């Protein structure tokens, strides 16, 4: 019997092991690419609710206080304030002192109102995502928060117009007008009451022209009409699979993106009329591998001072007067450190985090240096600008997933995406382009033309082409 000598094989096995270690899936991404890896997996989630809104019937001025304090205001350099300007300046400074809400109430019931928004991230190829429970919980409060300001604006505007007839109008600069809007919404909101019942939610997957609508318009009314379609939010509905409790409870929810619901419904109805032997396979082809997914870490291993990246969609990151509409749906990231754990009255331990989170970040992932999710953004310890921010440990979400019998599987799309990034980092641009192309093909879906490929995948394709000299900029 022919035998290889064992000793000469050792160097060969060592070399093979090193090659696998260098290019296998266990090789971590370079630190500068951890956020890049995560970006296409994080989405802006919006919730729709029915509202019961109770507002004051009217607002009026506290004239004795205004008349007493108006003469005490100093005129700015080079200008003499009118009486109306003095009144409004006082109101801007302290609306609670100078305005009075009537004790009579008006109740309205707006429906299908988009009042909530936050972040969610994909973890499994079937379209499973994690986010915060408080985005979907029924809300009851005596104070209208920032998210509800838009629905109180019509009533507030009516009240301000009534005040102008009493006090007179005044002209102010843009900064003062912005401050006026802010303080008036805060004051008026504190006088309102609401009850909001969650109805539905959707992920914002992109912003642009809906290709399906464009093709339909092209077929029915010609090219000139097809080119007139304006960009819009492209969205995917989600189902809530499980929900914890709003903070201080275990603030985690498991949701599922439902791709092409009409197409899935059509197949199911057709199956009722004539059984389709491959129905499950066809439904899986529609649903699976449409989202880049993130790997989950172990929050029990997270120690104080661990470096992390927090991702989400903070409202303060978007300025509609300075940015194009698509900028609102580009995920933001902030670097920070984990502090101590703090016991919550809901019976769990939250992480402190130095990375600042803002409204809109809720439900976004917190990544360790290996790019694994170790927690979810949940908010600040107190409603103050300098408050320490809190994180829900990912192991709480894992408990919920086990209850649902969901074992996260990032899937083939995520494997191609991560492999492409590793090859790009190693300077293997042609091979990286092949991996990114495979990821795009999976995400688009061969039988479902029109689904929008992630901006981040398209951007990486462009980076590869630039490096290969196939488009300018490399």
Q: What is the pTM of this model?
A: 0.81
| 5: pLDDT strictly greater than 80 | no
Q: Which residue has the tokens 């699979």?
A: 241
Q: Alpha-carbon distance 364 to 153, whole Å?
A: 29
pLDDT band at 1 (very low <50, low <70, confident <90, very high): very low
Instruction: Let me know: does 245 contact 251? Beta carbons within 8 Å.
Output: yes
| 15: pLDDT strictly greater than 70 | no
How high is the pLDDT of residue 27?
61
3-state secondary structure of 380: strand
Burial of 430 (0-12, 13-18, 19+ CB in 10 A): exposed
- In order of 72, 163, 184, 378, 399, the CA distances from 89 in angstroms are 12, 14, 12, 37, 54
Over residues 216-230, the mean pLDDT reads 83
- In degrees, rounded to 5, the angle at the alpha carbon of residue 382 between the alpha carbons of residues 376 and 384 is 110
How high is the pLDDT of residue 26?
52
Q: Bridge-partner residues for 121, per DSSP?
A: 42, 130
Instruction: Let me know: does 332 contact 351? Beta carbons within 8 Å.
Output: no
| 212: pLDDT strictly greater than 90 | no
How high is the pLDDT of residue 208?
81
Over residues 307-321, the mean pLDDT reads 91
How many C-beta atoms surround the C-beta of residue 334 within 10 A?
21
Q: What is the pLDDT of residues 284-305, one digit of tens each?
A: 988 999 999 999 999 999 999 9
Q: What is the pLDDT of residues 337-386, one digit of tens each?
A: 999 999 999 899 999 999 998 889 999 999 999 999 999 999 888 877 77
Among residues 438, 301, 308, the alpha carbon closest in space to that of 369 is found at 308
Q: Alpha-carbon distance 271 to 275, whole Å?
A: 4
pLDDT band at 149 (very low <50, low <70, confident <90, very high): low
More confident call, 332 vs 359: 332
Q: Alpha-carbon distance 309 to 333, whole Å?
A: 6
Q: What is the pLDDT of residues 45-87, one digit of tens each?
A: 998 888 888 899 999 999 999 999 999 999 888 889 999 999 9
Q: Alpha-carbon distance 398 to 268, whole Å?
A: 31
Report the run of H or E that residue 64 belongs to, with start and end: helix 63-69
Report the run of H or E that residue 420 belongs to, with start and end: helix 411-425
How high is the pLDDT of residue 150?
64
How high is the pLDDT of residue 321?
86
Q: What is the pLDDT of residues 235-268, one digit of tens each?
A: 899 999 999 998 899 999 999 999 988 889 999 9
Among residues 457, 121, 455, 125, the alpha carbon closest in space to that of 310 is found at 121
Q: What is the pLDDT of residues 398-432, one digit of tens each?
A: 999 999 999 999 999 999 999 999 999 999 999 99
> Two tokens at 137?
């919980």
Q: Walk me through the domains of the chain, giving residue ranges and CATH numbers.
A: 37-47+198-403 (2.40.10.10), 48-116+138-197 (no CATH), 410-474 (no CATH)
- In order of 80, 179, 232, the CA distances from 173 in angstroms are 16, 10, 32
Q: Which residue has the tokens 């050792």?
A: 10
Instruction: Let me know: does 360 contact 315? Beta carbons within 8 Å.
Output: yes
E strand spans, 271-404: 307-312, 332-343, 349-353, 365-367, 373-380, 389-393
Q: Bridge-partner residues for 42, per DSSP?
A: 121
More confident call, 324 vs 11: 324
Among residues 372, 406, 444, 410, the alpha carbon closest in space to that of 125 is found at 410
Q: Which residue has the tokens 């003499």?
A: 80
Count the residues in the chain. 474
Q: What phi, psi does 50 have (nearest 5°)?
A: -95, 140
* CA distance from start to end of the chain: 57
> Two tokens at 352?
């402190």
């Amino acid at each position: 019997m022919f035998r290889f000598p064992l000793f000469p094989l050792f160097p060969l096995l060592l070399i093979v092991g090193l090659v696998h270690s260098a290019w296998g899936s266990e090789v971590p991404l370079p630190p500068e690419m951890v956020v890049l890896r995560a970006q296409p997996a994080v989405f802006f989630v919006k919730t729709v609710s029915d509202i019961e809104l109770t507002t004051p019937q009217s607002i009026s001025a506290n004239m004795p206080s205004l008349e007493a304090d108006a003469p005490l205001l100093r005129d700015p350099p080079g200008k003499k304030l009118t009486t109306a300007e003095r009144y409004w300046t006082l109101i801007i400074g302290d609306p609670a002192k100078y305005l009075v809400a009537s004790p009579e109430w008006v109740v309205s019931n707006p429906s299908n109102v988009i009042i909530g928004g936050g972040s969610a991230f994909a973890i499994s190829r079937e379209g499973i995502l994690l986010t915060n429970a408080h985005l979907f919980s029924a809300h009851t409060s005596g104070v209208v928060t920032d998210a509800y300001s838009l629905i109180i604006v019509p009533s507030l505007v009516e009240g301000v117009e009534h005040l102008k007839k009493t006090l007179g109008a005044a002209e102010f600069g843009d900064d003062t007008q912005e401050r006026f809007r802010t303080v008036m919404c805060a004051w008026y909101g504190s006088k309102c009451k609401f009850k909001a019942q969650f109805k539905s939610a959707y992920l914002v997957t992109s912003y642009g022209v809906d290709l399906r609508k464009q093709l339909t318009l092209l077929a029915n009314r010609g090219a000139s009409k097809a080119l007139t379609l304006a960009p819009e939010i492209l969205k995917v509905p989600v189902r809530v699979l499980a929900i914890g409790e709003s903070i201080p409870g275990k603030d985690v929810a498991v949701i599922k993106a439902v791709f092409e619901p009409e197409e899935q419904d059509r197949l199911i109805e057709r199956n009722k009329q004539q059984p389709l032997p491959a129905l499950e396979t066809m439904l899986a082809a529609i649903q699976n591998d449409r989202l880049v997914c993130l790997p989950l870490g172990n929050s029990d291993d997270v120690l104080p001072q661990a470096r992390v990246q927090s991702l989400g969609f903070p409202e303060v990151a978007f300025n509609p007067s300075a940015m194009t509409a698509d900028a609102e749906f580009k995920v933001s990231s902030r670097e920070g450190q984990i502090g101590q754990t703090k016991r919550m009255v809901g019976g769990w331990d939250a992480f402190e985090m130095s990375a600042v989170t803002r409204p809109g970040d809720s439900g976004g992932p917190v990544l360790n240096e290996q790019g694994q999710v170790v927690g979810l953004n949940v908010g600040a310890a107190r409603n103050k600008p300098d408050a320490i921010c809190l994180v829900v440990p990912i192991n709480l979400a894992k408990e919920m997933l086990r209850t649902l019998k969901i074992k996260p599987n990032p899937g083939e799309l995520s494997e191609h995406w991560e492999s492409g990034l590793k090859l790009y980092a190693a300077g293997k641009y042609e091979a990286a382009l092949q991996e990114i192309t495979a990821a795009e093909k999976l995400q688009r879906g061969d039988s479902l033309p029109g689904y929008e490929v992630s901006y981040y995948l398209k951007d990486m394709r462009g980076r590869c082409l630039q490096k290969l000299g196939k488009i300018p900029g490399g």
